[in-house]
Amino acid sequence: MSVTTDSLHRASDTTHHPAHERCVVCGSRNHRSLNLPFCRGDDGWVEATLTGDESLQGYPHMMHGGVISLLLDAAMTHCLFAHGCTGVTARMELKFRHPVMVNERVHIRAKLVRASPPAYQLKAELLQHEQVKTSATGLFVDRPELIAQETDACHNPSPE
């Protein structure tokens, strides 16, 4: 698999979370991860860009819908990280508007729409050639106890 990510922002702009070190999208401790860095923009959006190869396709030359869903979910999760929340997806709705082509750059972004702790509403978009290809809305629930669970797992790994 070959995925190219852009890292145009300073490290201080990136969102990071200790409970996500093994994440399939952003995890630094997962050798199969896309290692996708999400960065805070000045306009309230959390953003990332990548170019995925054929390993991310469904139909020929088109990115798999499940991969698109994964990227939009991750963007909304990182948006919550930027707001100091550890959220999990309760509901997500997607609108697939146009095919997303592999081997071409995509821009993924998410923004907080409404906060009613412990619930948060977010929106996300995947753009290619400055056109919204897929959009999503999500309802997330804050789960701060997940931080402690990852810390415990790191210090007390289970035997394999």
What are the tens digits of pLDDT across the range 86-102? Answer: 999 999 999 999 999 99
When divided into structural domains, the chain yields a total of 1
| Confidence (pTM) | 0.84
Cα gap 93→157, rounded to integer Å? 35
Q: Across residues 55-71, what is the average pLDDT?
A: 97
How does 71-100 read in b/e, with b if 16+ C-beta sit within 10 Å? bbbbbbbbbbbbbebbbeeeebebeeeebb
In a domain, 157, yes or no: no
Determine the residue type at 143.
R
CATH number at residue 12: 3.10.129.10
Q: Are 89 and 118 in contact (CB under 8 A)?
A: no
Q: Are 48 and 56 in contact (CB under 8 A)?
A: no
In a domain, 160, yes or no: no
**Could you tell me which residue, 64 or 8, shows the higher pLDDT?**
64
* Band of pLDDT at residue 67, cut at 50, 70 and 90: very high
The domain in which residue 110 lies consists of 3-151
